[in-house]
């Protein structure tokens, strides 16, 4: 039995007065008795945060939560799509799946009709060696830039920063390193001059303490053309002023970007009342989980319940966010544009599948790349 079915039966069993009908607001005020969430592996930040929120749900509402961890993007998303999980605590695979790229560009996938409930802001920036004489994003041209082999989640974010400056990977001296750790530590070894990551990994602190030193490159929030180029590559980014990290403090903040990790994801056809109830519960249990880790305060819906995100927001979440005065006309405009993009890609996928019938996987990949680009250029 699905959670939405359990929810409907639960409310159907409630009798109010002389048969007074339940309103949408009343039905959305409750959670099902049990839920399943997917997340990153045990030991990850995503699993730790899902566990803290699950514990809070149990304490306040008595809801039993089963967390299903996975080390792969498909392993985290598949339970949501197959209705074995109510919510996914995901990351950038949400964007890849909604766009039909990377792991999700094969014939069995294509653009997935996903929706966001909320997502904790997680800052992300370009860091450079202070002695590399790189002061702006434009200064990256011709410099040694560290990428991670087989890690599109990192690399697409780096490419988005370059796009902001009107650059591409061809404009830098791209260095491909075999692992994330190797790429991030390459600056301290003087094998690269810049790369991109979050602000708190051990590698950036090591660079800060090394003879080379560290510098984070600013991303001006008022550069409209730069943001237009960046969001063509990664529409899930938003401006963010970070005060925590290597070489960063409240006295020395940096204007970089934020994406969502974890981002809470459901199917577009998930029951709106259930999503409303989940969003309301996430808000009402905030005081129970906000101190679980140093970043948990960022689950405040004033930060976690607003665009940009990896996919459009779900109507059930928007209903609650409107009630709380968090959802604005600007947020709705962003959501409308994001749905338009997603629908255009889903239509383009159908054309690619038809044109690619009987073709090899390599030929299909080229067909999809061409038709996908045409669809995005038409927006």
Q: Which of 5-9, 48-52, 56-60, 370-374 is least confident?
A: 5-9
Tell me the pLDDT tens digit for each residue of 64-73.
999 999 988 8
* Model pLDDT, residue 43: 81
Supply the CATH classification number for the domain 3-120+260-377.
3.40.190.10
Which run of H or of E encompasses 52?
A: helix 45-61
The bridge status of strand 214-216 relative to strand 114-129 is: antiparallel
Evaluate if residue 12 carries a pLDDT over 90. Answer: no
Could you give the angle at the alpha carbon of 334 between the alpha carbons of 330 and 337, nearest 5°? 140
Give the pLDDT of residue 90: 95
Q: What is the CATH number of domain 123-259?
A: 3.40.190.10
DSSP string covering 218-272: P--TT-HHHHHHHHHH-TT-EEEEE-SBTTB-SSS-EEEEEEEEEEEEEETTS-H
CA distance linking residue 18 with residue 323, whole number of Å:
29
As a whole number, mean pLDDT of residues 351-371 equals 97
Would you place residue 15 in the very low, low, confident or very high pLDDT band (cuts 50, 70, 90)? very low
> Which of 26-40, 41-55, 257-271 comes out lowest in average pLDDT?
26-40
Tokens of 237: 């980014």
Which pLDDT score is estimated for 45?
86
Q: Indicate whether 21 pLDDT > 60.
A: no
Which residues 6+ apart lie within 8 Å of 205 measured at CB? 246
Give the residue from 44, 22, 50, 105 showing the smallest Cα distance to 278.
Answer: 50
* Phi/psi at 233 (5° precision): -90, -45
Instruction: Please count the residues of the chain.
Output: 379
pLDDT at position 8 is 39
Residue 29: pLDDT band (50, 70, 90) is: low
User: Residue 207: is its pLDDT beyond 90?
Assistant: yes
Please check the confidence at residue 300 and state whether its pLDDT lies above 80: yes
pLDDT for res 44: 84
pTM of the model: 0.82
Domain-by-domain residue ranges, the chain? 3-120+260-377, 123-259
Q: Same CATH fold, 123-259 and 3-120+260-377?
A: yes
Average pLDDT, the chain: 91
Task: Please compute the mean of the pLDDT values over residues 229-238 and round it to a whole number.
Answer: 93
Q: What is the mean pLDDT of residues 237-248?
A: 94
Angle between helices 315-323 and 272-284 (to 10 degrees): 50
């Amino acid at each position: 039995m699905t959670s939405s079915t359990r929810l409907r039966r639960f409310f159907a069993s409630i009798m109010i007065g002389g048969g007074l009908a339940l309103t949408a607001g009343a039905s959305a005020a409750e959670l099902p008795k049990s839920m399943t969430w997917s997340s990153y592996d045990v030991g990850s930040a995503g699993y730790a945060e899902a566990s803290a929120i699950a514990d809070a749900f149990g304490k306040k509402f008595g809801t039993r939560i089963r967390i299903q961890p996975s080390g792969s993007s498909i392993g985290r998303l598949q339970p949501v799509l197959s209705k074995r999980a109510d919510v996914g605590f995901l990351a950038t695979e949400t964007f890849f799946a909604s766009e039909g790229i990377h792991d999700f560009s094969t014939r069995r996938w294509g653009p997935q009709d996903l929706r966001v409930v909320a997502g904790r802001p997680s800052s992300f920036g370009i860091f450079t060696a202070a002695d590399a004489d790189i002061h702006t994003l434009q200064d990256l041209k011709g410099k040694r830039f560290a990428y991670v082999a087989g890690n599109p989640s990192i690399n697409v974010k780096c490419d988005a920063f370059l796009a902001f400056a009107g650059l591409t990977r061809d404009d830098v001296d791209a260095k491909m390193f075999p692992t994330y750790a190797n790429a991030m530590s390459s600056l301290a070894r003087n094998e690269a001059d810049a790369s991109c990551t979050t602000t708190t990994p051990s590698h950036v602190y090591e660079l800060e303490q090394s003879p080379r030193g560290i510098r984070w490159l600013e991303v001006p929030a008022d550069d409209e053309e730069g943001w237009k180029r960046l969001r063509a590559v990664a529409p899930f980014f938003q401006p963010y002023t970070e005060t925590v990290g290597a070489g960063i403090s409240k006295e020395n903040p940096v204007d970089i970007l934020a994406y969502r990790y974890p981002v809470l994801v459901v199917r577009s056809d998930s029951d709106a009342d259930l999503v409303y109830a989940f969003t309301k519960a996430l808000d009402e249990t905030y005081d129970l989980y906000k101190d679980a880790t140093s970043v948990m305060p960022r689950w405040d819906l004033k930060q976690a319940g607003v665009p940009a995100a990896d996919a459009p927001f779900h109507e059930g979440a928007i209903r609650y966010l409107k009630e709380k005065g968090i959802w604005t006309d600007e947020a709705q405009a962003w959501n409308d544009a994001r749905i338009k993009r997603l629908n255009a890609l889903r239509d383009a996928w159908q054309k690619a599948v038809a044109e690619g019938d009987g073709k090899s996987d390599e030929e299909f990949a080229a067909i999809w790349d061409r038709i996908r680009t045409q669809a995005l250029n038409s927006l």
